[in-house]
Amino acid sequence: MRADVVDRRFYRSRYDAQRTLDRFSGQMRDEVDLDALSRELLATVAETVQPAQAGLWLRRGDHRDR
């Protein structure tokens, strides 16, 4: 068996999480709409880890102090 087949069979949650992250990062690479990015991020979290609740806190205002 090839290593990737073994990983998918025995470490499925890790494989699925990595595949989900790869897909999400590819889709969001060029996203500039914060609302769309927020919705997609929360949908990906809900699909991947299936929490009872998920929220996203964003800081508003001047970002020069980063």
Question: For residue 32, is pLDDT > 70?
Answer: yes
Backbone angles phi, psi at 31, to 5 degrees: -75, 130
Query: How does pLDDT run across 1-22, given as a tens digit for each residue?
Result: 566 665 566 656 666 777 888 8
Q: Tell me how far apart the alpha carbons of residues 6 and 25 are, in angstroms, rounded to a whole number.
A: 25
Start-to-end Cα distance in the chain? 48
How distant, in Å, are the alpha carbons of 11, 40, 47, 62 from that of 20? 14, 12, 9, 32
Q: What is the pTM of this model?
A: 0.60
